[in-house]
Chain A
C-alpha cells in the first residue's frame, strides 16, 4: 500500500522535527474553532496555515485549537505563541492574512499589528 510507504518516510522526517520541538519548544499557533469561528472561516484559515508552514518548511510549529472565545465579530481568530515573546491574538484572519503572519511573525518575529487584537498575557 502506497500510504504505508509514505508514512514510513514521514516518520523519519517528523521524528527529527518533533525532537527539536520538544527540546527547544517551537512556536505554537492556536486556532479558535468554536461555532462562530468555524462559520467565519476558521477551517480554511487552518488549511492555509498548514500550506504556508509547509511551503516555508516549518515542521517545528505546533498547531492546536480552542473553543469559543466570545469575540464572534473578530473571528476567525488565531493566537501565536513564540517562546520568549508575548503571545499575540489576531482577529479577522483570512488565508491572505495567514500568509503575512507566517512570513512576518513566525519567520521574522515581527508582529503584524494591523490584525493583532491583543498582545500579552491574554489567553493561553
Chain B
C-alpha cells in the first residue's frame, strides 16, 4: 500500500471486525528525534500466541486464512523498510495493540496520506465502535473523540453523509493547523 493511512485503515478494520467497542489511534510526529510513531489499541477479541505469530507471516496468512492478517504482515514489512519496527501485543478477550515506529525522514517511509478519509471511513462504524484519534506534532495535538461528536450531535452514529463530510473537513483542517508534514 502506497500510504501509511491505508495500512492504518486496514488494521483499524481488523479491530472493528474483532468486535472492538473502542479504538484508539495515536500518531506522533517527532521531528526532534526523527521519529514517526503510530499506535492502534483496541478492546476487541484479541489473539492467542499462535495466531499472533501467524499474522505477521505473509506466507502462512495468504495461503490459509484468506487475507485475515495479511495487512499486518504488509505493515510490518513497510515499517522495517523504513528503518523501523512493528510490535504486536494481544490478549485473548482483552484486545490488541499495534505499535509502529519509523524514521520520520527515512527515504523509504511511505507518506501518511489521506488520514481524513480514513477517519471518515471508521466513523461509519460508530454505531458499534468508538474512535479516539490523537495526532501529535512536536508540542501540539489534534484530538477527535467520536463519542463527544455523537453527544454534541445527539446522534447514535455518525454514518450520515453530512456528518462524515464535516468530520473529513475537520480532520483536514486540524492536521493542517498542526503542521503535519508526514
Residues of A within 8 A of B (CB): 3-4, 6-8, 10-11, 13-15, 17-18, 21, 31, 33-36, 38-39, 43-44, 46-47, 50-51, 53-54, 58-59, 61-65, 67-68, 70
Counting residue pairs across A and B whose Cβ atoms lie within 8 Å, the total is 103
CA distance A67 to B117 in the complex (A): 17
Q: Which secondary structure dominates chain B's binding surface?
A: helix
Interchain CA distance A37-B172 in the complex, whole Å: 23
Q: Which one of B22-30, B34-42, B101-109, B154-162 contacts A? A: B154-162
Which residue from A14, A58, A70 sits with its C-beta under 8 Å from B163?
A: A14
Q: Are A65 and B153 in contact (CB under 8 A)?
A: no
Residues of B within 8 A of A3 (CB): 170
A-chain residues with CB within 8 Å of residue B66 when the two chains form the complex: 68, 70
Which of A7, A33, A38, A62 is the one whose CB lies under 8 Å from B149? A7
Q: How large is the interface on B (under 10, 10 to 19, 20 to 34, 35 or more residues)?
A: 20 to 34
For residue B11, which residue of chain A has the nearest CB? Answer: A35
Please report B residues at the A interface, Cβ cutoff 8 Å. Answer: 1, 5-6, 9-10, 13, 17, 66-67, 70-71, 74, 114, 117-118, 120-121, 124-125, 149, 152-155, 159-166, 168, 170
B120 and A50 within 8 A (CB):
yes
- Chain B min CB distance to A11 (Å): 5
Known contacts A17-B160, A63-B124, A64-B124; decide if A47 and B117 are in contact (CB<8 Å): yes
If A6-B166, A46-B117 touch, does A59 touch B160 (CB 8 Å cutoff)?
yes
- List, in ascending order, chain B residues with CB within 8 A of A17's CB: 160, 162
